[in-house]
Structures are given as structure tokens and as C-alpha cells.
């Protein structure tokens, strides 16, 4: 399946090049960061050879591809994280049907990033918990 082939790209740059070649390009619909170490890039594909036309690419902070999720319509950030971490009271919503999915060897349980004791590169006095979990730089105004 094409999504498995796309998931052999372990970095975002080569994956985007493959999407240009196989799907005629894409438009960025959204970019969401959760904590320091997780990004979701929501792409609408121009001419999809995948089962759907929307691809969510989850990466680590270095652009390492962790997960690919294919949909007919764009999910909401809340629904995506509710699907990943249903036990979290911070997220809610219904995810559209996942039409194809692949993980790379960069993947790990994203709920680990949301725990109060999740690792951080920020010193404790310079960070605050993001809504839903994960650490972000402390707002200097607070």
C-alpha cells in the first residue's frame, strides 16, 4: 500500500518530495504543536493515490516522521488527540474514519508526552504545561 511506502521516509523533507511526485503536491491546512516534541502537519493532497485526500503527518521536533494518517476530511486537533489519548479529559471530539495508517520506527505512544513528569529541555522555572499536556516556554507576562 502507498502509505506504507510513504512511511519509509523517516524525515519530513523526503516525504514531502514523495508527495509532490505521487500526489501532484499538497496544501498545508494546519500545523499543530503539542509540547516540545510533537508536531502534526495536516495536508490536503492535490491528486491522491491514497484512500483519502487528507494526510496527517506526525513528526518529532527534528522533523522525523512518526505517523501517517489518511482521511477523507481534515480532523480537528482536539479529535486527533482524543483518539490518541482517550483517557485525557483535556481532549474531546470524533475523529473522521481513518482510511489508512502507518507508523515508522520513530513512533512511540504520544500520551507519554502529555504526562506531568514528561521530559523537557526547558528548566522547570522557564516552562508551563500546555493545554492537554506537554511543555511550552513560560509566558514572560505571567
Q: Using CB atoms within 10 A of its CB, is residue 51 exposed (0-12), middle (13-18) or buried (19+)? A: middle
CB of 59 closer than 8 Å to CB of 37: no
Q: List, in sequence order, every residue forming a beta bridge with 135; answer none if it has no partner.
A: 129
82-133 pLDDT per residue, tens: 999 999 999 999 999 999 999 999 998 999 988 888 888 889 999 888 888 8
Grid coordinates given for 133: 499536556
Residue with cell 513528526: 59
Residue 70 has pLDDT above 70, yes or no: yes
pTM of the model: 0.91
Q: Which helix (H) or strand (E) holds 100?
A: strand 100-103
Amino acid at each position: 500500500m502507498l502509505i506504507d511506502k510513504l512511511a519509509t521516509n523517516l524525515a519530513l523533507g523526503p516525504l514531502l518530495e514523495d508527495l509532490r511526485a505521487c500526489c501532484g503536491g499538497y496544501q498545508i491546512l494546519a500545523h499543530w504543536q503539542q509540547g516540545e516534541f510533537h508536531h502534526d502537519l495536516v495536508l490536503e493532497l492535490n491528486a491522491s493515490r491514497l484512500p483519502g485526500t487528507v494526510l496527517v503527518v506526525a513528526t518529532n521536533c527534528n522533523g522525523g516522521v512518526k505517523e501517517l494518517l489518511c482521511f477523507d476530511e481534515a480532523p480537528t486537533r482536539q479529535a486527533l488527540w482524543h483518539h490518541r489519548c482517550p483517557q485525557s479529559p483535556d481532549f474531546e471530539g470524533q475523529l473522521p474514519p481513518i482510511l489508512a495508517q502507518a507508523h515508522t520506527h520513530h513512533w512511540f505512544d504520544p500520551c507519554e508526552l502529555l504526562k506531568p513528569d514528561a521530559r523537557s529541555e526547558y528548566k522547570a522555572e522557564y516552562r508551563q504545561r500546555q493545554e492537554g499536556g506537554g511543555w511550552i516556554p513560560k509566558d514572560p507576562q505571567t
